[in-house]
C-alpha cells in the first residue's frame, strides 16, 4: 500500500511540475510577446508618428501670428524708384491673461496722453474710446492671442517713448509694417498697375487658384500662405510679377494654454523681402511722352476754328509706345490721361474711383472706353482700339509683292478712286479729297497714301487671284506681323485686337473685306501691336517680344532672373521689298519734324471709324529712326484726333527727342537735345491730308 501511495504521489508531483513548467513558459512567452508589442509600438510612435505628434503638440501649445511679407520694389531702367514699399511703425496690443476691463480702459487713456504729447499734431487726435475699441477687449474681432492694431504711422518721438517704457505698458509692441507707395510723378501708372487686399482680389482667377491650393492638405509651407489682409498685385506688372515681388511671410509664435492664453515668450520668424524689378521704362522718356500727349490734346482742343488741328477738337485721350528695335525693350508706354496710383492705398473710396475709373485701364494693350460718365455720350466716341488707317499700307505693299500681285516697278494710274463689285452694285473707294495722283509705283503709292492703289493693285487683286481664300492669306500675313494676335508681352488683359475683315467677309463679301483691309479699315489693334509691327518693319522681318523688365534682383542685389531679346517669328523677304516700302515711307510728309537731325521712316494714318452711326477720324502714326540703323520704333494713337500727320506725329517727334537726350538714338545720350518740338504750323502739306 505504502509503495503504491508513494508511487502515485511521485506521479502527481511529476504532473504538477510539468504543469507548472508549462504555465511558467506560457507566462514568459506572453510576457515576451507583450513587451515585444510595446517595443514595436514605441518604435512606431518615435520614428513614424513622432514628427506628426510633435507637430500636433506644437500646434496645440503654440499660436502663430503671421507677419505679411515685405514686397519688392520696382525701379526704372536707371534704378529710380517707381513703386516701392516703405516702412511704417504701428502700435499693437496683445491682451494678456487676467487683464481686467477697467485696467484696459485706463491703459487706453494713458496711451491717448502719449499720442497727444508725441504724435503728429497735423492729424486728427484719437480718443480713449477709439483706442479701447481697437483693443477689442471682448474678442469680437481677434482671438485672445492675436495682436490688435492700435495706431499706425507712429512718429519718431512715439516710437522712442514706447521703446523706453515697455514695462509700463504691458502688452504694447511697436511693429514695422510695409506700405506700397508709387512715384508722385505718376510714371507709367497703368503699366505698373496697382494693388488690392487679397480678400478683395479673389475675383481674379489667379487668386482663386491660390486660395484653392492653400486648402489642399498637402500645402505645408506657411511662409507662402496668403493672408486675407495682405495686399497683392491686381493689374499690370504688380500682378504679372506677383510671385517674384511678394517675398515670404514671417511669424510671431506664442506658447498658449488650452484656453489660448499666452503663457510664455514670443519667438520671431522674420518675413523675407521680395525681389526687385528693374524695368526697361526710362523715367525721363516716359514723362516726356506723357507730357507730349497731354500737351497735344490741349492744342487740338483749343485750336482755332477752321484750322486742320481743329478737326481734333473732340480728342480726349492719347496713347503711345516706344520700343527699341533690336532688344524689344519698351522705354515708354503712355495711356493718357492717367491718375494717381496711391489712391488705391488702403482701399480706394467710391468718390475717388468714380473720378478715375476711365483712366485706370491700360489703353495701349486693351480696349478702354472714352472718358464720358454718361453712357449715351460715351458710345458716341471711339475707344483706345482704332483702325490702322494708312499705317497699314507698308504691309499691304509687302503682301502684294510677296504674293506676286505687283513688283517694285508696277504702275497704276490713280484717278482718285477705285470701283469694284458686280454691275449695278458697284462700290467706290476714294482717296482723301478724291485726289487724283496719276501714275504711281508701289513706293509712290505709300508716299501719296493712295487708297485707290492699295485697293486695285493688292486688295482686289488678291481676291481676283485667290477668291474667298484670299482672306485667309491676308490674315496669315497680318498675324505674322503681330496684328490680330497678342504681342507675347505677357501683360494681364492684353487684347488680340479686332479682326473685322473676317466679319466683313461674312456679312459683305470676301472682295469688299480685302479691298477695305488693304488701306487699313478692317482691323482695330492696340498701340503695343502697332509698335511691334513698326519694329518688325525696321528690323526687316523679326517680330520681337516686347520686354518690360531688364532684370530681377533679390534684396541683396544679386541677379536672380536676367532677360535677353526674344524673337517670336521671322519673315524673309528680298531686300528690294523692304527698300520699296522704306523709299515711300521716307517721303511721307508729317508735322513737327522740322530740324530733326536724323533720317527716319514713318507713316501717318487717319483711320475712319463708324461710331454710333457717325464717322469719326482717328490720328495714327508709326515711325522708326535712324533710318540707316534703326534704334527706336514709335507708335502713337489719338482717337478722334483727325489727321494722323497733325494729331499724332508731333507726339512722336517729342518721344524721339526725349530718347535721344536720355539714351541716344546713335548710342550715346544727347543731353543738349531740345525737349519741345518745333511749331507744327511751320511745316508744309500734312501727310495726314493725303489719306482717309
Can you give 194-222 as a three-state secondary structure string? CEEEHHHHCCCHHHHHHHHHHHCCCCCCH
Cell numbers at 95, concatenated: 491682451
Q: Please report the pLDDT score of residue 673 as a whole number.
A: 43
C-alpha to C-alpha distance for 309 and 655, rounded to whole angstroms: 20
- Burial code (b: 16+ CB inside 10 Å, e: under 16) for 472-507 equals ebbbebbebbbbbbbbbbebbebbebbbbbbebbee
User: How far from 334 is each of 186, 286, 363, 384, 488, CA to CA, in Å?
Assistant: 11, 7, 8, 12, 19
Cβ count near 688 (within 10 Å): 33
Helix runs in 374-429, H state only: 375-378, 393-402
Q: Which residues lie across from 277 on neighbouring strands?
A: 74, 552
C-alpha to C-alpha distance for 638 and 417, rounded to whole angstroms: 27
Going by C-alpha positions, the residue among 615, 614, 608, 684 that lies closest to residue 649 is: 684
Phi, psi of 210 (to 5 degrees): -65, -45
pTM: 0.80
Q: Write the DSSP assignment of 635-649 as a string of letters.
A: EEEETT---HHHHTH
Residue segments in the chain with a per-residue pLDDT below the cut of 70: 1-22, 24, 27-29, 41-61, 140-143, 145-146, 177, 258-261, 346-347, 671-692
pLDDT tens for 510-558 read 999 999 999 999 999 999 999 999 999 999 999 999 999 999 999 999 9
pLDDT tens for 351-375 read 888 889 999 999 999 999 999 999 9
391 CB contacts (<8 Å, ≥6 apart)? 520, 530, 603, 604, 605, 620, 621, 622, 644
Going by C-alpha positions, the residue among 88, 360, 56, 422 that lies closest to residue 234 is: 360
Run of H or E residues at 39 = helix 2-43
Note whether 281 and 237 are within 8 A (CB): no
Q: Please report the pLDDT score of residue 44 as a whole number.
A: 65
Q: Please report the pLDDT score of residue 101 as a whole number.
A: 85
pLDDT tens for 176-194 read 767 889 999 999 999 999 9
C-alpha to C-alpha distance for 415 and 453, rounded to whole angstroms: 10
Q: Please report the pLDDT score of residue 202 as a whole number.
A: 82
Amino acid at each position: 500500500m505504502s509503495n503504491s501511495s508513494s508511487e502515485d504521489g511521485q506521479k502527481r508531483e511529476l504532473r504538477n511540475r510539468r504543469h507548472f513548467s508549462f504555465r511558467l513558459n506560457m507566462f514568459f512567452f506572453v510576457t515576451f510577446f507583450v513587451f515585444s508589442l510595446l517595443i514595436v509600438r514605441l518604435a512606431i510612435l518615435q520614428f513614424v508618428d513622432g514628427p506628426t505628434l510633435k507637430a500636433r503638440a506644437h500646434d496645440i501649445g503654440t499660436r502663430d501670428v503671421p507677419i505679411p511679407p515685405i514686397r519688392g520694389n520696382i525701379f526704372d531702367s536707371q534704378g529710380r524708384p517707381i513703386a516701392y514699399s516703405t516702412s511704417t511703425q504701428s502700435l499693437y496690443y496683445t491682451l494678456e491673461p487676467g487683464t481686467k476691463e477697467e485696467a484696459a480702459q485706463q491703459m487706453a487713456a494713458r496711451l491717448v496722453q502719449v499720442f497727444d504729447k508725441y504724435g503728429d499734431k497735423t492729424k486728427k487726435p484719437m480718443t480713449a474710446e477709439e483706442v479701447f475699441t481697437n483693443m477689442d477687449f471682448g474678442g469680437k474681432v481677434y482671438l485672445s492671442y492675436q495682436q490688435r492694431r492700435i495706431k499706425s504711422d507712429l512718429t519718431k518721438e512715439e516710437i522712442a517713448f514706447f521703446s523706453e517704457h515697455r514695462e509700463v505698458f504691458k502688452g504694447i509692441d511697436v511693429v514695422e509694417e510695409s506700405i506700397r507707395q508709387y512715384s508722385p510723378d505718376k510714371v507709367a501708372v497703368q503699366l505698373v498697375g496697382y494693388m488690392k487686399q487679397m480678400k478683395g482680389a479673389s475675383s481674379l482667377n489667379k487668386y482663386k487658384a491660390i486660395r484653392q491650393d492653400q486648402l489642399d492638405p498637402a500645402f505645408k509651407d506657411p511662409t507662402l500662405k496668403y493672408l486675407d489682409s495682405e495686399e497683392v498685385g491686381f493689374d499690370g506688372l504688380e500682378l504679372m510679377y506677383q510671385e517674384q515681388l511678394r517675398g515670404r511671410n514671417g511669424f510671431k509664435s506664442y506658447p498658449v494654454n488650452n484656453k489660448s492664453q499666452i503663457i510664455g515668450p514670443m519667438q520671431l520668424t522674420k518675413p523675407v523681402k521680395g525681389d526687385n524689378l528693374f524695368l526697361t521704362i526710362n523715367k525721363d522718356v516716359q514723362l516726356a511722352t506723357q507730357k507730349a500727349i497731354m500737351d497735344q490734346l490741349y492744342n487740338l482742343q483749343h485750336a482755332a476754328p477752321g484750322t486742320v488741328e481743329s478737326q481734333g477738337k473732340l480728342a480726349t485721350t492719347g496713347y503711345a509706345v516706344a520700343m527699341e528695335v533690336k532688344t524689344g525693350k519698351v522705354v515708354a508706354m503712355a495711356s493718357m490721361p492717367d491718375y494717381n496710383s496711391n489712391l488705391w492705398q488702403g482701399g480706394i473710396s467710391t468718390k475717388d474711383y468714380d473720378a478715375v475709373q476711365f483712366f485706370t485701364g491700360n489703353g495701349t494693350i486693351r480696349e478702354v472706353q472714352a472718358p464720358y460718365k454718361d453712357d449715351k455720350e460715351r458710345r458716341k466716341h471711339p475707344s483706345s482700339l482704332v483702325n490702322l488707317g494708312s499705317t497699314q499700307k507698308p504691309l499691304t505693299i509687302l503682301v502684294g509683292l510677296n504674293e506676286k500681285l505687283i513688283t517694285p516697278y508696277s504702275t497704276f494710274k490713280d484717278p482718285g478712286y477705285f470701283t469694284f463689285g458686280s454691275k449695278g452694285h458697284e462700290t467706290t473707294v476714294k482717296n482723301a479729297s478724291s485726289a487724283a495722283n496719276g501714275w504711281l509705283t508701289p513706293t509712290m503709292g505709300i508716299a501719296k497714301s493712295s487708297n485707290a492703289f492699295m485697293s486695285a493693285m493688292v486688295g482686289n487683286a488678291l481676291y481676283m487671284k485667290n477668291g474667298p481664300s484670299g482672306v485667309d492669306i491676308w490674315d496669315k500675313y497680318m498675324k505674322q506681323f503681330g496684328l490680330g494676335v497678342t504681342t507675347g508681352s505677357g501683360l494681364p488683359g492684353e487684347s488680340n485686337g479686332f479682326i473685322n475683315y473676317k466679319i466683313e467677309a461674312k456679312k459683305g463679301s470676301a472682295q469688299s473685306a480685302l479691298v477695305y483691309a488693304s488701306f487699313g479699315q478692317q482691323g482695330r489693334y492696340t498701340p503695343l501691336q502697332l509698335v511691334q509691327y513698326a519694329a518688325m518693319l525696321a528690323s526687316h522681318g523679326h517680330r520681337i517680344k516686347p520686354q518690360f523688365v531688364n532684370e530681377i534682383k533679390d534684396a541683396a542685389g544679386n541677379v536672380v532672373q536676367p532677360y535677353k531679346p526674344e524673337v517670336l517669328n521671322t519673315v524673309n523677304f528680298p531686300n528690294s521689298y523692304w527698300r520699296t516700302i522704306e523709299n515711300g515711307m521716307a517721303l511721307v510728309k508729317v508735322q513737327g519734324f522740322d530740324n530733326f537731325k536724323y533720317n527716319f521712316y514713318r507713316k501717318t494714318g487717319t483711320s475712319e471709324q463708324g461710331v454710333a452711326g457717325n464717322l469719326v477720324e482717328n490720328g495714327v502714326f508709326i515711325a522708326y529712326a535712324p533710318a540707316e540703323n534703326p534704334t527706336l520704333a514709335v507708335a502713337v494713337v489719338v482717337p478722334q484726333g483727325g489727321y494722323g500727320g497733325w494729331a499724332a506725329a508731333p507726339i512722336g517727334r517729342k518721344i524721339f527727342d526725349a530718347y535721344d537726350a536720355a539714351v541716344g538714338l546713335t548710342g550715346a545720350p544727347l543731353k543738349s537735345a531740345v525737349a519741345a518740338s518745333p511749331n507744327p504750323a511751320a511745316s508744309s502739306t500734312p501727310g495726314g491730308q493725303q489719306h482717309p
